[in-house]
Structure 1
Amino acid sequence: MITQLLQQRDQHEILERLEKAKVANASVNKFQDIWEHPPLKARQRWLEVDSPIGKIPTT
């Protein structure tokens, strides 16, 4: 039942409801979400470094 209910809502709505109900929660970010995280981006925390597979972002 829980899985069915969660599939009907997006992540933002689910987190908003959990916060409103004062239920402890955390979301799992995709790497792209982390790289685009406004405070990290504003602080210029990301650098690109060479690796065997090409350039990759790192802090």
Structure 2
Amino acid sequence: MSDVVLIMQALANPNKYGVNGTNQSHITSEGGEYADTGGNGLTVSDALRIQQYLLGLIPSLT
């Protein structure tokens, strides 16, 4: 679930949590690629889909 929070933070405050963010625990480019479940860049839909997967509401992220 912390991945979902980081994705949302990176989208809401990219200067701090984005790929080049100032926070030491900002998202990495590799993390952003893995989190992109739709292949269209990191979006709020990716965070939602990961959350649904973690809750067992969908069988896979693909």
Query: What TM-score, normalized to structure 1?
Result: 0.24
Higher RCO, 1 or 2 (CA under 8 Å, sep at least 6)? 2
Task: Specify which structure has the higher proportion of helix.
Answer: 2
Q: Which has the larger radius of gyration?
A: 1
Task: Specify which structure has the higher proportion of strand.
Answer: 1
